[in-house]
Structures are given as structure tokens and as C-alpha cells.
Chain A
Amino acid sequence: MKTMVKNLYGWLDERFDLSPLIDFMSKKNVPVHRHMIWYYMGGVTLFLFIVQVMSGILLLFYYKPGADSAYESMRFILTKVNFGWLIRSIHSWSANLMVFFAFVHMFSTYFTKAYQKPREMTWVTGFLLLALALGFGFSGYLLPWNELAFFATKVGTDIVGALPLIGKPIMAVLRGGEDVTGATLTRFYAFHVAMLPAVFTVLLGLHLVFIQRQGMSEPEELARLPEDQKKWMPFFPNFVLRDAFLWLVVLNVLLFLAVFYPWDLGFKADAFAPAPAGIRPEWYFMFMFQTLKFLPGHILFVEGELVGILFFGIAGIAWMFVPFWDIRAKSTSKFNPMVIIGLISLIFIIVMTIVGYLM
């Protein structure tokens, strides 16, 4: 066996000169410190993305977009296709876990200040990847063409339509017309399986290249230490094996959720039916949805909803450019303004999400 691998390596090395790659991998180290658990969050998100791609491709074998076929094909997948129920359930659970871990990864990067120079672009690409993941979630939610998804999409696209000047044209592009119809479904399908994956793959590639090129960020407390007191761990195989360890644990959790809490299909969407009770967006949009609900009708002659949308738009852009306006705390100061901003944002998101589910 070993000889075979050696022969194969020799064959490849002769043609592609693998030595620089091997050299790079063998020298790559990961700093060891008490916050290193957060290094794994990006890896877990990546693993869940791989699961999404694989389970998504399997679903594509049977899924038929269209107002008359989407729900029926989903039903077929769930009831007739061997392990179809498992694949669909894994796809839904993994999507939610991926967004969750992406948020964890983002906030851990923020609080450990890993976004600072020279990693600004890693942060920006990471933020864009999270935005695309939310886009995946929003477009994928409609694809089973069930009642809840139909009305949630209606509400979601209505919010976009509330923007002045550009709102209505964007809403029309998203919906493929005035209302949420079969045309909306087919274009959401196109977003979900073609456009978003294409852009996501490019950005993900860049994000990973940046990380590999620049290495793991050292937290401030570690960076201040003299070189001989710093601890390191080889990326390969130590860190990779630890990553694999965690991926297996996540896979186990994913299987548990998919088997014991399978995602249900609900009732088929009916445009003429009254909106059912309990329409709510996916949990990761809940904090924004709930905030918009809390806003008064008008704030200083401007529609409350519009103020909310603009606020989230500006906040999102500001968040994306955090590395460029980062406020450095004075070494004597007890309070770090960036930590306070981060904590307020995190608490706001958590509280509003909980309130959204309780109300």
C-alpha cells in the first residue's frame, strides 16, 4: 500500500513538482493559546458548506422547480426516494447550522480582532460569504413551495419593496413580476443553484487562499509575547486532524437532528388562501424582522420601516468595513470601544431573535 502511494506521489511530483506545496504545508504552524477553539469555527462552517453542496446535488436529482411541480417533487423525495427524507433533512439542518457557525466564526474573529491589518480582505470576503449564505437561506426557503415559505417570501420581498426609488424595481426583479408566483420560484431556484454558488465558490476560494497565505492571526496577548515563549502547533497533521475530529462530531450531531427532528414539508402554497398564522422568516432574519415590527409607523416624517431598512443597510456596510474604521483603544483605557460595539450588536441580535420567537 505504502509503495503504491509512494509511486503515485512520485508520478505526480515528477509532473507537477509538489515539493513547494509539501514544503509550505510542513512549515505552516498554528499558534497555540487559550482562545484557539475559535480557529475551528471557520472549518466547521466550511465542512457544513461541503455537506450543503453534496446534499444539494443529491436533491437536484429529483427536485423540479415550478409552481405545479416543486411541492410534489419534494413530497416525492421525502416519501419515495430511498433516503430522500434523510438528504432533505440534512440539507435543511446543515443550512441552519452553517449560518449559525458562520455567525460564531464572524463574532469570534471580531472579538479576537483577527480582522486587523493585514487581514482586512479576509474579513471583507468572510462578511460577503455570510451575506451570500443568508441569500442561500432566503432563496432556498421558498423552494419547497409550501405555505409558510410562500408567505414569508412575500413579506421578505415586500420589505425590499419599501425602499425608495430602487425598492420596487428590485422587488419586481426578485419576484419576476408584481407578486410571488411560479416565476419567483424559478428565479429563486436559479439564484440558489447557479448564481449564488458561483459567486460563493470564488469568494470562498479567495477567503481560503488569504488564510493560507497569511496564516492564523495571533491574538494581541500572544503577539506581545517574546518569540521563545510562543507555542505553535503544526498545521499538518495536528490541526487538520483536530479539524477532522470536530467535523466528525458535527456530522454526528447533524445526523441526530436529521433523524430525530426531520424537517417537515407543510402544506402546499396557495396564493389565494389567507395567510396562515405564525408566518415568520428563518431565525437568522428574525432580529431584523422583529425590529421592523417594533418601529413606529413614522419617525420624523419618514416611514418607520424605511428607517429600519436603511439602518440595517448602513450597519451592514459599516460592519463589512470594520477593519478600515477600527478604533484602537488606548493602552491605559479599561474599555475597548470595538468590544462594546460588538457586544451591543451581539446582545441586540440575540435579544431581538428571542423576542421574535416569544411574541
Chain B
Amino acid sequence: MKKFNTAILFSTVLFLLININFVIADIPALLLQEDHCVSCHSELEILPEDFQDYDSHLQIGLSCSGCHGGDPTSEDPEKAMSPKAGFIGVPSTKAIPKLCGKCHSNIDFMRTYQPRIPTDQVQQYFTSVHGKQLLKGDEKVAECASCHTAHAIASAKDARSSVYALNVPNTCKKCHSDADYMKGYHIPTDQYEKFARSVHGKDLLEKSDTGAPACNDCHGNHGAAPPGVESVAHVCGNCHVNNMNYFEASSMAEPFANLDIHACEQCHGHHDVEKTTDDMVGVGENSVCTQCHSTGDAGYQAAKEMHQSISEFVNDYNQAEAQLKDVQQKGMDDVDILYLLQEAHQTLIHTRTLVHTFSPDKISEKTSEGVKKTSEAMDLAKKEIRDYHVRRRGFGIATLFITVLVVALFFKIRGMERNQKKQS
């Protein structure tokens, strides 16, 4: 029995040794035949912790020796990992950017794999805070592998990648939310918490909307740096183009710059940007205008006027929407009302964008346009509701007419049959 068990064990090991593909199914077969790094390390179960067979480099045939050097064709570990064969072991943090750059900064080389791939990552990296600190000898900062991992690298479009949009906040969080690790840098460590609460964070992390910005969309990828006063509007303006253009052309742009106030951040915050409301404009409790303006000054008055125009329009719009629902509930024609309300909604979005001009006149001009559309929609809705009642009254008249005919016919038949009986 013992012999039998030993035979089974032996044949299993033999099978696995011969058929290494059985162990690592997704690694190209040819690579395994020629590359003894992967086969030996797999058999001995000493592959790196983050090793994944979907790794982009591994998938195109660039194996361990591509970065670590050595001779992968040799079955003898001594020879395979000898410095003579170029083996460098685990590269130091400081050496990593240049190591990756060996290929990734070489445009001719990279073109053979992906014709449109950028090759300035290393150059950009050294302009970032991370890169600059690394040059100063700080080895705690992020280098390529910190974000991309070393052995599970995948395209940023691949959902398994650590730099896929939905995974970016968690990748950055690994260091930036670790208060102990960040000690000494004198920067906050609550960015992730704030971001997760923000309108952007909710869209990205809760709704998995990859269109919402992750850390890198504002801070950059390889050239990661916090945006300064002069560039913050441009960062937000990447997506919120009209808001940025209106703000820059407004009378507020210059005073903001002179006072060193962050353009967008002053009213909206940064990591914790909340969903905007109309009450942010005006002089009410939730107003951001009153942070700087107070009773009597021109800004205060302008804020009040802007809020009033928007509120009136929104009220009208909500009323028209309620009437639309009534029309729909009654099964009447809602097509034209819907179109008008769609237009009005566009106008409302435009009005809210125009808030960044800080001009009560421009806002009032736009809201008047919107109010005109909503009142047209309301008129149509009223007409449809009136028609609904007319139809019922029309039926009443028609049915009355038919009922009179039915009754008349009834008496006619009765009278006729009585006469027929009398005659017979």
C-alpha cells in the first residue's frame, strides 16, 4: 500500500514537472520551454508575491531576465543567476525608474510593441514630487512599481490593473492614507476619505463610473504634483470647460489671483467637492458667496439677484414638470411638452454654468429664456388637460344622443309589436 502511494505521488510530481503548463496555464508555452526562471521558481514555489500570469510583459514574452538580468536558458541556478550573466537581483528603488526607462523611454523599441505608446514617462516622473524626492535620496517615495506593481503589470484599460481608473484611488491610498508612512512629509492623509465622500468619489467608487475623475486626472500620472494656485482652474477646466472660461473672463478672476485664492477650490473644495446646489449662490445659510461678501456690498447684492433669478426659473420648471406628469398620467400627448422641457433643462444647466460669470444680468437673461420655455410647456400641458376633460364631456354628449336613440328604438319596437298583436 505504501509503495502504491509513493508511486502515485511520484507520478503526480513527474506529471507536473513534465507538464508545467498544467501549473501555470496562461503563460505562453514557448516561453516556459526556454525560460528556466519561471519553471524553477514555480516548482520551488518562490515566485514573487504579486506574480500574476496576466502580466503584460510576461504575455509578450518578456520574462524575469528582462529586468533582473541573468541567463534564463541555463538550468543551473548558479549560472543562470550569476553576475557574469548580468544578473542584478532585486533592483534598488532608486534604480527602478531608469530600469523601466531602458525600454519605456526608447521610442524605437517601444514602437515595435505599441506604435502610439508614450515614451516620456521617466522624464515626467522626475518632474513630479515623487521623482524629485527620489533624486534627493528619499527611497520612501513612489517609483514605477509602487503604482504599477512589479509582476502584475497590466494596461490602464484592464480592470485587473492597479492603475485602472476604478483602482487608482486605492493604489494612491496605500501610501497617502497611511499616517505613519507619511509622517515627516507634513501633508494630510485624509484625501481618500474626503474623495470617497465627494461627488467625484461617489461616481467613481460607488457607481463605477470611469468617466468620473480619479486622483491622476487632477494630479497627473507620472508627473504627479499638487496643482498650484495658478493651475487649479485649468485642472478643473479640463472637464468643466465652460465654467473655467466664464470664470477666467469674469471680474472675479483678477481679485482671486491677487488674493492668492484657489479659483475653484474656494467655493467647491478640492478632494471633498460636493454636488452643487442652487443654494450655494445667494445670501442664504448654505451660500458660499457670504464667505467673502456681506450686507451692503455689491457682491452681496449680485449674489441675491442671481439666486432669485435661478430660484424663480427652477420653481417654474418644477411646476411644468409636475404638469407633465399629470398629462402623462392622463394618457395625453406629452411629446411637445417633453421637448420644451428638455430645452428648458438645457437652459437651466447653462444658467448654472453662467453663475461663474458672477453677472446677475447674464443670468437673468438666460433664466428669462428658460421661463419662456417652461411657460410654453405649461400652456401646452394645460391644453392637453383641458382636452382630456373635453373628451369626457364629448363622450357624455355622444352617449346621451345614442341613449336617446336606444330608448326611442325600444319604445318603437314595443309599440310596433303591440300593434302587430292587435292586428293578428
Listed in ascending order, the chain A residues whose CB lies under 8 Å from chain B are 75, 78-80, 86, 234, 237-238, 241-242, 244-245, 248-249, 251-252, 255-256, 259-260, 262, 264
Task: Find B399's partner among A75, A245, A255 (CB 8 Å cutoff).
Answer: A255
A79 to chain B, nearest CB (A): 4
Is the pair A252, B403 in contact by a Cβ cutoff of 8 Å? yes
**B85 CB contacts on chain A under 8 angstroms:** none
Given A255-B399, A256-B395, the answer on whether A238 and B413 have CB atoms closer than 8 Å is yes
Give the interface size bracket for B toward A: 20 to 34
**B333 CB contacts on chain A under 8 angstroms:** 78-80
Q: Could you tell me the distance between the alpha carbons of A255 and B393 in the complex, rounded to whole angstroms?
A: 12
B143 to chain A, nearest CB (A): 47
Is the pair A259, B391 in contact by a Cβ cutoff of 8 Å? yes
Is the pair B406, A262 in contact by a Cβ cutoff of 8 Å? no
Contacts A234-B420, A248-B402, A248-B405 given; 4 further ones with Cβ under 8 A? Answer: A238-B420, A245-B409, A251-B402, A252-B403
Would you call B8 an interface residue if the criterion is a C-beta within 8 Å of the partner chain's C-beta atoms? no
B160 to chain A, nearest CB (A): 28
A-B contact pairs, 11 of them (CB 8 A): A78-B333, A79-B335, A241-B413, A245-B406, A248-B405, A248-B406, A248-B409, A252-B399, A255-B402, A256-B399, A259-B392
**A241 CB contacts on chain B under 8 angstroms:** 409, 412-413, 416
Chain B, range 87-118, C-beta contacts under 8 Å to A: none
B421 to chain A, nearest CB (A): 11
Task: Find A244's partner among B395, B409, B417 (CB 8 Å cutoff).
Answer: B409
Would you call B339 an interface residue if the criterion is a C-beta within 8 Å of the partner chain's C-beta atoms? no
**A238 CB contacts on chain B under 8 angstroms:** 413, 416-417, 420
**A248 CB contacts on chain B under 8 angstroms:** 402, 405-406, 409
Q: Could you tell me the distance between the alpha carbons of A262 and B395 in the complex, rounded to whole angstroms?
A: 13
B381 to chain A, nearest CB (A): 14
**B420 CB contacts on chain A under 8 angstroms:** 234, 238
Is the pair B331, A252 in contact by a Cβ cutoff of 8 Å? no
Would you call B398 an interface residue if the criterion is a C-beta within 8 Å of the partner chain's C-beta atoms? yes
Pairs of residues from A and B, 6 with the lowest C-beta to C-beta distance, nearest first: A79-B333, A259-B395, A245-B409, A248-B406, A252-B402, A241-B413
**B402 CB contacts on chain A under 8 angstroms:** 248, 251-252, 255
Given A238-B417, A256-B395, A256-B399, the answer on whether A249 and B331 have CB atoms closer than 8 Å is no
A248 to chain B, nearest CB (A): 5
**B398 CB contacts on chain A under 8 angstroms:** 255
Would you call B410 an interface residue if the criterion is a C-beta within 8 Å of the partner chain's C-beta atoms? yes
Is the pair A255, B395 in contact by a Cβ cutoff of 8 Å? yes
